[in-house]
Structure 1
Amino acid sequence: MSRRFDLIVFDWDGTLSDSTGRIVDAMQDAISELGLPQRQNHEIATLIGLGLWEALAVLFPEHSREQLEPQLLAYQRRRGPAGFEQAPLFPQVEATLSQLAGEGVTLAVATGKGRQGLETALDASGLRHFFQATRTVDEAPSKPAPDMLEELLWETDTPAERALMIGDSEYDLAMARNARVASVGVLCGVHDAQTLRRCEPLGLLPHVAELPAWLDSTRYR
């Protein structure tokens, strides 16, 4: 049976991994450690999906990257990768990826994480073998710039019209729109349906586990 998409690209945090609370806690810890003004949890949560520096620029526009970078790098060295507990996957994520890969779909990741953070998450989750390509903010500009998706299209030799982006934030879906790639939003992460609809996704799902059934229902559209 023919399929509509050859490449499916997933965001990580809030899409595959139930990590919103842990990211907010880690950011609050960093803000406190760096002696920056306090920010509310919801202010931080809505920025998940952006690169770290892009999020900090929104939270603290009065501080330049040149001011913050030495302190933040020193903090990250003190904590180390072991200092950040890995968040659990959402239910049925592994089974969903296994089903899609078994149907011959190429799978990839485009994330606001840095490379070290993604590598740690891939190992901890056991999902590494499903993904043929990955991009992080260490290799390309942050979402919603199209670069991560465009590079994944090139690496996998996939036309934009044969690719689909899955994400929980408007940054994910806006990146897809900017790359002229179709998207589907999931409602298990940081942004609500009204926010995601502004980016004109093909559909909104409760979580990734619903994706195979959605793909079957849209196979011939």
Structure 2
Amino acid sequence: MNVKLVIFDWDGTLIDSVDHIADSLHQAATELGFPALEPADYRDIIGLGIVEALEQLYPGIQPDDIQRMREGYARYFFSKQTGPQNVFAGMAEVVADLRSGGRACSVATGKSRRGLEGALTSSGLGHHFEITRCADETRSKPDPLMLQEILAFYGHRPQDAVMIGDTRYDLEMAQRIGMPSIGVEWGVHTRDILGQYNPHAVVGSVDELRQVLSL
């Protein structure tokens, strides 16, 4: 697959953080007296912006409770720092090899800007990405606005890029604008779910991803 631009999701695609996110959501919700949900419920909304995620988890939640839960979530989540050890094995090399081969790399994430900036630095990956987009500065996935903003930065068409992600939200936003996508199985959603969004490929290992990207 020979594209000019590779756009990565962050959590569950580059970074092994899904369990920590789900646990932080659980802690923040139950601290405020909201019912504890199944771990799969918390995992399923990973990829959305935090407001959209909480509205899906707890329909009818009030704005004041959203704000309090956001604060609690941030407190729990930021109690652990993302480091190089949290990067999925082999993914740092994938990004580095794409860049050394002349392809641009970017990040489109449901994280907040605060969360991503810290993680870009502490993970050691930040210098690879010229532009990144976060849910709190644009629209949440699966709205494709963040992809369109990244494309506009480079002056590329959707078919010049590929979106790589572990959730249906990643693949749906790419599908909405005709951008090829690659699903990865080591994050949130299964091959069966990812396959519903007409991806170019769904891969189960980093070696498979390298093959699809012609690395």
Inter-partner Cα distance in structure 1 for 2:21 and 2:208: 25
Inter-partner Cα distance in structure 1 for 2:195 and 2:78: 37
Tell me how far 1:82 sits from its aligned partner.
4.3
CA distances 1:71-117 after superposition (whole Å, capped 9, x unpaired): 2354367x287423426010011111111101100000000100011
Is 2:80 aligned against 1:84?
yes
Alignment-derived partner of residue 10 in structure 1: 8
Percent identical across equivalent pairs?
Answer: 38
Inter-partner Cα distance in structure 2 for 1:90 and 1:54: 26
Consecutive unaligned residues of structure 2, counting only runs of 5 or more, are none
TM-score by length of 2: 0.93
Inter-partner Cα distance in structure 2 for 1:196 and 1:211: 15
CA distances 1:108-155 after superposition (whole Å, capped 9, x unpaired): 000010001101110110000111110000111110001010000001
Inter-partner Cα distance in structure 1 for 2:66 and 2:194: 31
Inter-partner Cα distance in structure 2 for 1:84 and 1:171: 25
Among candidates 34, 59, 68, match of residue 32 of structure 2: 34
Alignment-derived partner of residue 154 in structure 1: 152
Indicate the larger mover: 80-89 or 92-101.
80-89
Is 2:208 aligned against 1:210?
yes
Structure 1: 4+ residue segments shifted above 2 A: 72-77, 79-82, 84-87, 207-212
Q: Is the contact between residue 160 and residue 180 of structure 1 (CA under 8 Å) also seen in structure 2?
A: yes
Indicate the larger mover: 201-210 or 176-185.
201-210
Q: What aligned pairs does 1:169-180 form with structure 2 within 5 A after superposition?
A: 169-180=167-178
Q: What aligned pairs does 1:17-96 form with structure 2 within 5 A after superposition?
A: 17-64=15-62, 66-75=63-72, 79=75, 82-86=78-82, 88-96=86-94
* Residues 76/189 of structure 1: CA separation in 2 closer, same or farther (3 Å cut): closer
Alignment-derived partner of residue 98 in structure 1: 96
Consecutive unaligned residues of structure 1, counting only runs of 5 or more, are none
Tell me how far 1:38 sits from its aligned partner.
1.3
TM-score by length of 1: 0.90
Q: What aligned pairs does 1:137-152 form with structure 2 within 5 A after superposition?
A: 137-152=135-150
Q: Which residue identity is paired with 1:22?
A: H
* Residues 74/121 of structure 1: CA separation in 2 closer, same or farther (3 Å cut): closer
